[in-house]
Chains A and B, each alone.
Chain A
Amino acid sequence: MENIDLFSLREHFNNNRILLCFNGPISRSLIEEIGNALKNYLQAENVQPSSAMDVFSIYVELTQNIRHYAKTKGYGELESSATVVVAKDGEGHYLVQAGNLVDKSDGEALLGKIQALAGMDKAALKAAYKTQLRHPREEGVASGAGLGLIDVARKSSLPLNASLSHANEGRAFFSLRATI
């Protein structure tokens, strides 16, 4: 086995101001535990409670979205892996970035949705949120029925940024970045 260069991995984390990183199959309890660590970290950093809650809530929505998607698709453990990063940008803004494997066509639809959200101002996002809140729930769908991404966009200080990278077997890696 090749030796993993922990030192360069550490340098990479430090250079990118990554506070927290997770890569692998994510469970309900892991979302809670990592979320708890994130809360404690933000509290120790004396982040304003309202900003800390924005970071936490974006983290929860994005990771729960990944769980719901993998469940809906009946993905196996490996395909259900999530890659989650919480970092700080050069100006001190917190970033939450989350990615997962998706069916290519779903990924393209998601990109379109994110682009539409990125073009909306706060008032338009609030209106979209309220409309979606009133939208009847689909039978058997346990999630927030499309509210999550609008909520993430509302809590971000910059437009959402998404990308799609090609993967094997009709899949793509969907990555979404929210800046708080």
Chain B
Amino acid sequence: MNDLNIQGTQSTPAITSQHGEGLLCMQGDSYPENSFEFFDPIIRWIETYLRQEQSPLRLELRLVYMNTSSVKAMMDIFDMLEEAHTAGRQVSVDWFYDPRNERVLDLADEFREDCTFPFQIAADAFVS
């Protein structure tokens, strides 16, 4: 399967995937006007991965600011992971945030409330 390598912009995060490693990384701010268009290839990549591969899938996130339409698209992604988890697949999320900005922790934490798969939120040395 193809991997994603989407350059980040001011309003969209950088996206990379390594299907051999079962890894999808997203980093940066996300506030495109049309979030569904932006997130569509990412959602399709995850769908394909879950269908074609049997190995675990891990999302490594360093997302900072997200507008509400990005939040909605992200919720769709987490719902897909939740469904896979319920079906017995190994899926997990690691969300790293800059400890100086607790809003990112709040954001990640609210997503986690609706997920039962392993969802780790950790302070990072990463500085945007």
Say if A and B assemble together: yes
Interface residue range, chain A: 20 to 34
| A142 near B34: Cβ-Cβ < 8 Å | yes
Q: How far is the CA of A151 from the CA of B66 in the complex (A)?
A: 11
CA distance A48 to B55 in the complex (A): 42
For B, the interface residue count at a CB cutoff of 8 angstroms equals 23
Interface string of B72-108 (1 = CB under 8 A from A): 1001000000000000000000000010111110000
CB contact list, B34-79 vs A, under 8 A: 34-37, 64-65, 67-69, 71-72, 75
Q: Is B69 within 8 A of A143, CB to CB?
A: yes
Instruction: Pick from B10, B33, B36, B100: contact of A36, CB below 8 A.
Output: B10
Would you call A3 an interface residue if the criterion is a C-beta within 8 Å of the partner chain's C-beta atoms? no
Q: Tell me whether B33 and A28 are in contact (CB under 8 A).
A: yes
Shortest CB–CB separation between residue B41 and chain A, in angstroms? 16
Which of chain A's residues 19-66 have a Cβ closer than 8 Å to chain B?
A: 28, 32, 36, 49-50, 53-54, 56-57, 60-61, 64
Of B31, B35, B100, B103, the contact of A142 (CB 8 Å cutoff):
B35
Question: B34 to chain A: which residues have CB within 8 Å?
Answer: 142
In angstroms, how far is the closest chain A Cβ from the Cβ of B105? 9
In the complex, chain B residues whose CB is within 8 Å of the CB of A137: 36, 72
Closest A residue, CB atoms, query B114 = A130
Give A52 Cβ to nearest chain B Cβ, in Å. Answer: 8
